[in-house]
């Protein structure tokens, strides 16, 4: 079963390249597919055997990291926007069942206004796969985090994650090639 999934992912990555990775980045925001698996797998497949050169590094950036980051950002916005507009009605109606009031959200929103530290924390959370993206996107939408800052931070955090895990997958592929 796992072998079939790996074969399917390989065929999508090989067939569609950057477009497939963009779509994977969007989809991973809704389906619990770890972005690390997408990035590691794609860099392992697409860059395996390539020495560290300017050309291969640019391939990592433009074929893997940027498409995945853009996809993750678009997927995050798709979650953020409904939560921004529907958060208050939802919490007003259903919040009592989870001990949450809209006043609690407004307090949290005030804490996140114009604080650099919060921007850095959001960036670090986006750059490391600690909290599932859909939860973070919903949270930022509900507290009405500034959309422009959210898009920039989400993209840069996703780009950082993609570059780090891309390098790991790439080098793992090179080591693996030495054993095959």
Q: What is the pLDDT of residues 18-67, one digit of tens each?
A: 888 898 888 888 777 777 778 888 888 888 778 888 988 998 999 999 99
pLDDT tens digit sequence for 75-112: 999 999 998 998 877 777 777 777 777 777 777 777 76
Instruction: Please tell me the predicted confidence (pLDDT) of residue 139.
Output: 86
Instruction: Please tell me the predicted confidence (pLDDT) of residue 69.
Output: 95
pLDDT at 114 over 70: no
Q: Cα(14)–Cα(26) distance, rounded to whole angstroms?
A: 18
Instruction: Please tell me the predicted confidence (pLDDT) of residue 25.
Output: 85
Give the model's confidence band at 180: pLDDT under 50 very low, under 70 low, under 90 confident, else very high. Answer: low
Section 137-150 average pLDDT: 89
Q: Cα(38)–Cα(165) distance, rounded to whole angstroms?
A: 9
Buried b (16+ CB within 10 A) or exposed e, 12-35: bbeeeebebbbbbbbebbeeeeeb
pTM: 0.83
Placement of tokens 């919903």 in the chain: 138
Q: How far is CA 65 from CA 6, 82, 111, 151, in A?
A: 20, 27, 32, 16
pLDDT at 165 over 70: yes
Q: Cα(146)–Cα(149) distance, rounded to whole angstroms?
A: 6
Q: Cα(180)–Cα(178) distance, rounded to whole angstroms?
A: 6
Contacts (Cβ under 8 Å, ≥6 apart) of 121: none
Higher-pLDDT residue of 113, 132: 132
Q: Cα(18)–Cα(38) distance, rounded to whole angstroms?
A: 12
Instruction: Please tell me the predicted confidence (pLDDT) of residue 79.
Output: 92
Instruction: Please tell me the predicted confidence (pLDDT) of residue 72.
Output: 93
Q: What are the domain boundaries of the chain? A: 2-179
């Amino acid at each position: 079963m796992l072998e079939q999934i790996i074969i399917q992912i390989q065929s999508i990555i090989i067939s569609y390249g950057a477009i497939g990775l963009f779509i994977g980045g969007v989809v991973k925001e809704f389906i619990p597919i770890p972005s690390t698996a997408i990035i590691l797998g794609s860099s392992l497949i697409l860059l395996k055997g390539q020495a560290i050169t300017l050309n291969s590094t640019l391939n990592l950036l433009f074929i893997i990291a940027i498409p995945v980051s853009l996809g993750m950002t678009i997927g995050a916005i798709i979650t953020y926007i409904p939560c921004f507009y529907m958060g208050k009605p939802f919490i007003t109606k259903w919040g009592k069942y989870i001990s949450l009031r809209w006043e609690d959200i407004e307090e949290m929103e005030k804490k996140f206004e114009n604080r650099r530290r919060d921007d850095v924390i959001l960036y670090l959370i986006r750059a490391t796969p600690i909290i599932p993206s859909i939860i973070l996107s919903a949270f930022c939408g509900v507290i009405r985090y500034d959309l422009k800052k959210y898009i920039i931070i989400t993209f840069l955090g996703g780009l950082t994650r993609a570059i780090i895990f891309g390098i790991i997958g790439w080098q793992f592929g090179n080591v693996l090639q030495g054993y095959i």
